């Protein structure tokens, strides 16, 4: 039986929030928005979909800013045999998250423009057109927070670099290529039967027999549970 | 406003579809009664691919799972949170109560921690033992048969431990501890803190042919598509429908009041359909409120009539009073021995495999009641925030924090899975001065008057939180861990969470024998109105240092049996 058969729908038709938003799309063409909506399929409610659509239809960073972000993230985490920040769609994440968590937008933008200002003054060029050596020379000044201070007391560009590093790292390591590189083994159906023996040995640990006796015998996991009257499992 | 009325009369209208509502739906429909379930949120089935989040990866979300729209992250299955647009609540000046609501079929059972602890004999008579609060009108022996039945029907893993106040049940076998849990066991025992297998309603073993067996993805908070964890929809409401129950589900329907007649008896409910914002009325012989402790109190308080000028069931003026949440405190640590650990799949079940029940005698302590300790840690799936401050722990080794380039990869790998955390969840004292009431000034988007909260922790809870912090530090030290962050001091109530944050709010329609000091009797039946029942956590007299769900389920079953019996006796 379809469980929805029992649903008592008194009214039909839903509120057209989605339709309303389509009318005020700015910055991004509707085909691109539709493609983004189709790409991310993660069990959203209607209002969550409407919110995502709204974010996809707005643009936070200019094309030049995105180019600059891509360049910076590539220095923070250079490509290797597993992949790159571009494969990991780190710039796309930064674009999205700056709209989703608006407190990011202004510090990131200010940092980008300050970066260009510094390089214009010093080398009469935009950051992106300078050499790697020149770029790293500046990053060396801002990439290491003073360990004596809280983040809130760091220099603005140090704080900005921390944001860029954090978003680069989280963007990379939550992507397909980054998860593969890290070697995370879960999120697949499996049967947990304890810490591998070689790992226990490495830490001089062992399971106590008394404890293990209480634990599931995984060969019997599909046998339907039956208890005696005192709650002792007999299957 | 236009009000639409149906001519159909149900035997029972159940308001809410979480743990209590789900259990009432199952038991009452299987007795042949005609049931309407009125749920404020949409239909939800954990196995519906359009709603499912289980087995998704962070990159399936454009924000990589961040908690912008759902407070526990994109993949958590609670539609709602502490703040819901259009459904505000207010506070008096000093109160910082936080009210979590989940608007969907199954309610908060879709995302809860599955920690399924029975109350023990002492938990029903705390006043007798320490003079604080009130005793329940029932004992452990009254509810024990129902705990047993809930264990067998729904399934819970655990182990027989023969502890007086943490009674054993009908358990499925627990999973083996994870690596960080083995470190916890050693560290806790050194401080004489008892550790035992946790008790979670996750099927480590098959209990019937309708529900699946756990496949260890650690994602119970996403509600299991194989129905291998307890969610009210998948384990109670759907099976009740499949058993041929006469159940009508009204979803997206926000109940405003319980309606009553000239004799003061309930006649049904009025609700607002969220889609057309129109008010509807449904009729029934019995109304069962299961909307959650605060929501049910709100409905009662808003159900004013000539016969019930103070709200339905509120001649005692107790509705909304004695609101209390669990205490909470936490601490985390870095385990240096786990640097560059071998990576393997240690997802396990959604939650800890081991925990510590309350282990001390309050006679030697400066606070009443206890807390249990939950443990977390290990090699979780990367999600938004993973990789933030990637090499902060370098400071413990005297090397540089920050930087850029390939060194960050080495740091990411090095520190992955090296965290361990402990959370204390304890019992607070139910106080008459902690309550929710109707705010006379404010309505929600449906025009329904909202709740205003008044809540202050007492010294009891603050001292308990201090004890938690001292204990956590000692255990971390025993494990060879490095404590992270500063110890919260007196100015921060020793890290005590805000009331409502642990999402165990109970007590607003408390149970008792005396109609002057309680709202419902031992069968969760309003003293004032015999055909209205409350089967959420509202009737809790005290909440124990145990999570409320298992007791909600057991009491709801007991109450449902009573309702069936009363129908047989033609008392409605």
Residues A103 and A210 in one domain: no
pLDDT at A18 over 70: no
Nearest CB among B182, B382, B406 relative to A173 is that of B382
Which residue from B135, B175, B156, B90 is spatially nearest to B544, judged by alpha carbons? Answer: B135
Which positions 36-65 of B are in contact with A (Cβ < 8 Å)?
36, 42-43, 45, 50-53, 55-65
Rg of chain B taking only CA atoms, in angstroms: 24
Residues A178 and A193 in one domain: no
Residue A120 is inside which H or E element, if any? Answer: helix A105-123
* Last-in-domain residue among A166, A182, A198: A182
pTM attached to this predicted model: 0.96
Residues A167 and A210 in one domain: no
Q: What is the pLDDT of residue B6?
A: 74
Is the minimum CB–CB distance between B171 and chain A shorter than 8 Å?
yes
How far apart are the C-alpha atoms of A36 and A33, rounded to whole Å?
A: 5
How many beta-carbon pairs below 8 A join chains A and B? 274
Q: Which residue of A has its CA nearest to B41?
A: A45
Q: Which residue of A has its CA nearest to B76?
A: A43
Instruction: Give Cβ neighbours of residue B316 (< 8 Å, ≥ 6 apart).
Output: B515, B516, B517, B518, B519, B527
Residues A119 and A14 in one domain: yes
CB < 8 Å to B75, chain A: 42-43
How far apart are the C-alpha atoms of B349 and B203, rounded to whole Å?
A: 9
Q: Which residue of B has its CA nearest to A179?
A: B382
Residues A37 and A138 in one domain: yes
A11 band by pLDDT with thresholds 50, 70 and 90: very low
Q: Which of B13-17, B277-281, B312-316, B420-424 has the lowest mean pLDDT?
A: B277-281
Cβ contact B412–A173 (<8 Å): yes
B499-536 tens-digit pLDDT: 999 999 999 999 999 999 999 999 999 999 999 999 99
Residue ranges making up the domain that contains A193: 189-235
Residues A172 and A197 in one domain: no
Which positions 264-303 of B are in contact with A (Cβ < 8 Å)?
273, 275-276, 278, 280
Instruction: Give Cβ neighbours of residue B394 (< 8 Å, ≥ 6 apart).
Output: B400, B401, B411
Is the minimum CB–CB distance between A139 and chain B shorter than 8 Å?
yes
Q: Helix B179-190 and helix B459-479: axis angle, to 10°? A: 110
Residues A36 and A138 in one domain: yes
How far apart are the C-alpha atoms of B285 and B9, rounded to whole Å?
A: 8
Domain count, chain A: 2
Is the minimum CB–CB distance between A141 and chain B shorter than 8 Å?
no
Residue A142: exposed, middle, or buried by beta-carbon count in 10 A (0-12, 13-18, 19+)?
buried
Cβ contact A211–B177 (<8 Å): yes
Residues A53 and A118 in one domain: yes
Residues A105 and A56 in one domain: yes
A25-48 tens-digit pLDDT: 357 999 999 999 999 999 999 999
A108-154 tens-digit pLDDT: 999 999 999 999 999 999 999 999 999 999 999 999 999 888 888 99
* Last-in-domain residue among A182, A198, A223: A182
Q: What is the pLDDT of residue A24?
A: 36
Residues A162 and A210 in one domain: no
Instruction: Name the region of A82 (left: φ>0; alpha: ψ -120 to 50; beta: rest).
Output: alpha
Residues A18 and A115 in one domain: yes
Question: Nearest CA to CA, how far is B445 from chain A (Å)?
Answer: 15
* Last-in-domain residue among A157, A182, A207: A182
Residues A176 and A122 in one domain: yes
Q: What is the pLDDT of residue A10?
A: 44
A163-213 tens-digit pLDDT: 999 999 999 999 999 999 999 999 999 999 999 999 999 999 999 999 999
Mean pLDDT of B15-36: 98
């Amino acid at each position: 039986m379809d469980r929805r058969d029992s649903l008592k729908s008194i009214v039909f038709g839903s509120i057209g929030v989605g339709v309303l938003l389509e009318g005020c799309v700015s910055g991004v063409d509707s085909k691109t928005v539709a493609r983004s909506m189709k790409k991310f399929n993660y069990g959203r409610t209607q209002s969550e979909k409407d919110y995502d659509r709204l974010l996809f239809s707005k643009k936070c960073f200019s094309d030049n800013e995105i180019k600059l972000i891509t360049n910076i993230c590539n220095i923070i985490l250079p490509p290797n045999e597993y992949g790159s920040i571009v494969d990991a769609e780190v710039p796309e994440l930064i674009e999205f998250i700056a709209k989703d968590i608006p407190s990011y937008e202004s510090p990131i933008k200010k940092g980008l423009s300050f970066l260009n200002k510094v390089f214009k003054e010093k080398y009469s060029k935009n950051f992106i057109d300078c050499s790697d050596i020149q770029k790293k020379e500046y990053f060396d000044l801002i990439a290491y927070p003073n360990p004596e201070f809280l983040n809130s007391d760091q220099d603005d560009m140090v704080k900005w670099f921390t944001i860029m590093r954090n978003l680069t790292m989280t963007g990379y390591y939550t992507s397909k290529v980054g998860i593969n590189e890290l070697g995370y083994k879960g999120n697949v159906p499996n049967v947990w039967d304890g810490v591998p023996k070689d790992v226990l040995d490495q830490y001089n640990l062992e399971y106590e027999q008394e404890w293990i006796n209480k634990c599931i015998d995984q060969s019997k996991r599909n046998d339907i549970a039956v208890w005696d009257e005192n709650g002792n499992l007999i299957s | 406003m236009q009000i639409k009325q149906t001519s159909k009369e149900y035997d029972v209208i159940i308001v809410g579809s979480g743990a209590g509502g789900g259990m009432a739906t199952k038991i009452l429909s299987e007795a042949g009664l005609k049931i309407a379930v009125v749920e404020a949120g949409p239909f939800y089935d954990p196995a519906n691919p359009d709603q499912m989040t289980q087995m998704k990866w962070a990159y399936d979300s454009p924000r990589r799972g961040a908690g912008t729209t759902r407070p526990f992250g994109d993949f958590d299955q609670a539609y709602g949170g502490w703040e819901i647009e259009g459904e505000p609540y207010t506070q008096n000046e000093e109160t910082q109560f936080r009210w979590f609501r989940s608007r969907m079929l199954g309610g908060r059972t879709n995302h809860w921690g599955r920690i399924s602890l029975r109350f023990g004999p002492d938990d029903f008579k705390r006043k007798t033992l320490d003079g604080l609060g009130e005793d329940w009108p029932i004992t452990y022996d009254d509810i024990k048969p129902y705990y047993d039945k809930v264990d067998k029907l729904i399934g819970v893993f655990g182990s027989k431990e023969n502890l007086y106040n943490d009674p054993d049940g009908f358990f499925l076998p627990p999973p083996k501890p994870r690596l960080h849990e083995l470190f916890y066991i050693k560290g806790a025992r050194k401080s004489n803190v008892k550790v035992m297998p946790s008790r979670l309603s996750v099927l480590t073993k098959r209990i019937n042919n309708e529900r699946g067996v756990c496949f260890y993805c650690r994602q119970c908070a996403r509600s299991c598509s194989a129905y291998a964890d307890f969610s009210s929809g998948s384990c109670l409401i759907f099976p009740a429908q499949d058993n041929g129950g006469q159940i009508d589900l009204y979803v997206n329907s926000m109940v405003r009041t319980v309606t009553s007649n000239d004799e003061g008896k309930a006649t049904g409910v009025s609700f607002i359909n969220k889609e057309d914002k129109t008010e509807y009325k449904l009729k029934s012989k019995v109304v069962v409120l299961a909307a959650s402790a605060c929501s049910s109190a709100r409905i009662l308080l808003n159900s004013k009539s000539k016969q019930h000028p103070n709200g339905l069931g509120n001649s005692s003026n107790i509705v909304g009073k004695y609101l209390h949440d669990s205490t909470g405190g936490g601490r985390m640590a870095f385990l240096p021995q786990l640097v560059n650990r071998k990576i393997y799949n240690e997802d396990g079940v959604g939650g800890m495999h081991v925990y510590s029940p309350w282990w001390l005698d309050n006679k030697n302590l400066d606070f009443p009641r206890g807390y249990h300790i939950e443990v977390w840690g290990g090699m979780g799936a990367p999600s938004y925030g993973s990789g933030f401050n990637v090499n902060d722990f370098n400071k413990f080794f005297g090397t540089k924090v920050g930087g850029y380039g390939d060194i960050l990869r080495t740091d990411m790998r090095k520190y992955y899975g090296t965290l361990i955390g402990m959370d204390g969840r304890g019992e607070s004292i139910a106080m008459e001065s902690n309550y929710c009431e109707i705010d006379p000034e404010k309505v929600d988007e449906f025009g329904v008057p909202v709740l205003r909260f008044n809540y202050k922790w007492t010294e009891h809870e603050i001292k308990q939180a201090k004890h938690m912090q001292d204990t956590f530090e000692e255990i971390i030290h025993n494990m060879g861990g490095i404590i992270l962050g500063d110890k919260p001091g007196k100015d921060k109530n020793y890290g005590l969470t805000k009331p409502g944050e642990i999402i165990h709010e109970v007590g607003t329609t408390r149970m008792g024998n005396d109609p002057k000091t309680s709202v419902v009797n031992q069968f969760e039946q309003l003293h004032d109105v015999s055909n209205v029942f409350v089967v959420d956590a509202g009737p809790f007299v005290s909440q124990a240092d145990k999570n409320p769900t298992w007791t909600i389920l057991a009491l709801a079953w007991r109450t449902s049996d009573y309702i069936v019996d009363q129908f047989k006796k033609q008392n409605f």
